[in-house]
Amino acid sequence: MVPLWMYLAVAAAMFCIGVYGVLARRNAVAILMSVELMLSAVNINLVAFWRYITPENMSGQAFAAFVFVIAAAEAAVGLAIVISIYRSRRSVIVEDVNVLKG
């Protein structure tokens, strides 16, 4: 098979692209998409470690399944918040949402 480190390298690159998106994008929906990228990269890591190190034990796949649940919940609540903010402020630019800024 393809050596383990290649899967880890792909997942690391995907995670860092997601980090850049979260830090640098201005649109809240784009930030949520970048968070989804990061969660998906984590899942690739979990499944790769499961396949290469403990393939007879289900912990890796079970963890990946829970990450799916968290991703779905996060997307639903995050997009609801974005829509709610857009309704009250007519903007989805995160810099315009600074009520809590000290």
Query: What is the nearest approach in angstroms of another protein to the Cβ of residue 99?
Result: 16
Q: How big is the chain by its Cα radius of gyration, in Å?
A: 17
Q: Does 79 participate in binding another protein (rule CB under 8 A)?
A: yes
Our finding on whether 97 is near another protein (CB under 8 A) is no
67-74's contacts with Cβ under 8 Å and 24+ in sequence apart are 67/39, 67/42, 67/43, 68/43, 70/39, 71/36, 71/39, 71/40, 74/32, 74/35, 74/39
| Nearer CB in complex with another protein: 9/102 | 9
Question: Smallest distance from the beta carbon of 33 to another protein, in angstroms?
Answer: 5
Cα–Cα distance for residue pair 47/62, rounded to 1 Å: 9
Return d(Cα 9, Cα 92) in angstroms, integer: 33
Interface residue with another protein among 95, 98, 99, 100 (CB under 8 A) is 95
Using CB under 8 A, count the residues that bind another protein.
75
Residue numbers 6-65 binding another protein by CB under 8 A:
6-10, 12-21, 23-27, 29-30, 32-34, 36-37, 40, 43-44, 47-48, 50-58, 61-62, 64-65
